[in-house]
Amino acid sequence: MNDEQLQRMMEEGRPVPPDHEDLQAYQVLFKALQQSPSLHIPNRFASRVSMRIQAKRERVSNVRFYLLVAVIILCSAAITAVMLLVYAPAAAAGILSVIIAKKWLWIFAAGALTAIQLADKWLQKKTTGKLIDEH
């Protein structure tokens, strides 16, 4: 007698031969499965888990998007700089001198944009966490 036949016999309540080697293991298993679990799972547990997974996927997707945007901007700036150097060296020197003269403004602008993005992400994560816990 194989495991499937033994399982079917126990499910149907038919007598099982006492000499079967897995009989005791199956009896323990069936008794354990008949009892309700002692762990209490909240009603919206599955929806909370799926919301957290979705939020994590969105964060990963957003990071990839921001990296792609940064790469595109840097490549565009590099191509523009090369074209200016090749076709208008005097204009390139003038633009470079303005960038160097206003370097703290550029650094502040980049830092401010980064801080705004990080604060937005922090607030979004905090708000999303509260929404998940409320459901």
- The reply to whether 73 and 10 lie within a common domain is no
Q: How far is the CA of 100 from the CAs of 60, 92, 96, 105, 110, in angstroms?
A: 35, 12, 6, 10, 15
40 lies in a domain? no
83 lies in a domain? yes
- pLDDT tens across the length of the chain (135 residues): 677 777 777 777 777 676 766 777 777 777 787 777 677 777 788 888 888 888 788 877 888 888 898 899 999 999 998 998 899 888 888 888 888 999 999 899 999 998 998 898 888 878 776 655 555
Q: How many structural domains compose the chain?
A: 2
Model-wide pTM > 0.85: no
